Structure 1
């Protein structure tokens, strides 16, 4: 167990330290290579270091680096819930989603509502984009997806053909769906 914590500490320190030159580089090939390295480190459980570096060094909401930010936050939640799930007896995990929602209809209403709101927000933003009107902020669309509306957002992307070329949506929404399923599985087994 100690080796795991040493690994986690080192990989997160590495991601934290590498984010500093990433933020200071202008968009060139070196920044692209560093971005790829940061994604790989994030996949290897270094997302906490990325989040800390983002919170300290990059508090603006510009689109620059938004894919990495979305990836870091979704990956961190996924890592956290995977860690919590692996501490349980894997043979005794329940995946009876129907029964879980039958026992908690208020949760089903929330999940359906937030996904409908997310879907409609993507549609509304596309409507505004077609008319060159003031658009919804990316933070709102991503936020709705993050708090449970990722499926609605992904369906909205496909139906309205909106934001389909943006990496922070193409990669972020599927990660958020995985994150939400893991959270649900964990709460089903508490």
Structure 2
């Protein structure tokens, strides 16, 4: 039982870090866009959103970034839904 809690804590920290990285990447890309500098590729942002959808969504809202781009308007909420389902399965089953 203790090992399960320990593993869960480790996974929770990893998941939190992935979401923070996604959030930061959206902020970095927004900053770079406003300065007309090198940008984070959209493919990279979507990959980060797949692994950290809550951070990506928060980044979209906080930085008002990629909120009009079609792939982001449907993919990020879809990734969040998938993660919520997986988290529910992990917790309850």
TM-score of the aligned structures, taking structure 1 as reference length = 0.44
Higher relative contact order (CA closer than 8 Å, sequence separation 6+): 2
**Cα 1:139–1:101 shift into 2, 3 Å:** farther
Q: Pick from 76, 84, 87: which aligns with 1:173? A: 76
Aligned match of 1:141: 45
Aligned match of 1:156: 59
Gaps of 5+ in 1: 1-99
TM-score of the aligned structures, taking structure 2 as reference length = 0.87
C-alpha displacement of 1:101: 7.0
- Aligned residue pairs, count: 90
- What CA deviation, in whole Å up to 9, does each residue of 1:85-131 have, x standing for no partner? xxxxxxxxxxxxxxx97761011101110110000000000010001
* CA distance in 1 between partners of 2:14 and 2:65 (Å): 24
Gaps of 5+ in 2: none
Root-mean-square deviation (CA, aligned residues, Å) is 1.8
- What CA deviation, in whole Å up to 9, does each residue of 1:132-186 have, x standing for no partner? 1110011111101112x11100110111111110111111111000001111222
The alignment partner of 1:105 has SS state of helix
The 5 Å alignment of 1:30-179 reads 104-147=8-51, 149-179=52-82
Conserved? CA contact 1:118–1:145, under 8 Å: yes
- Tell me whether 1:188 sits opposite 2:91 in the alignment: yes
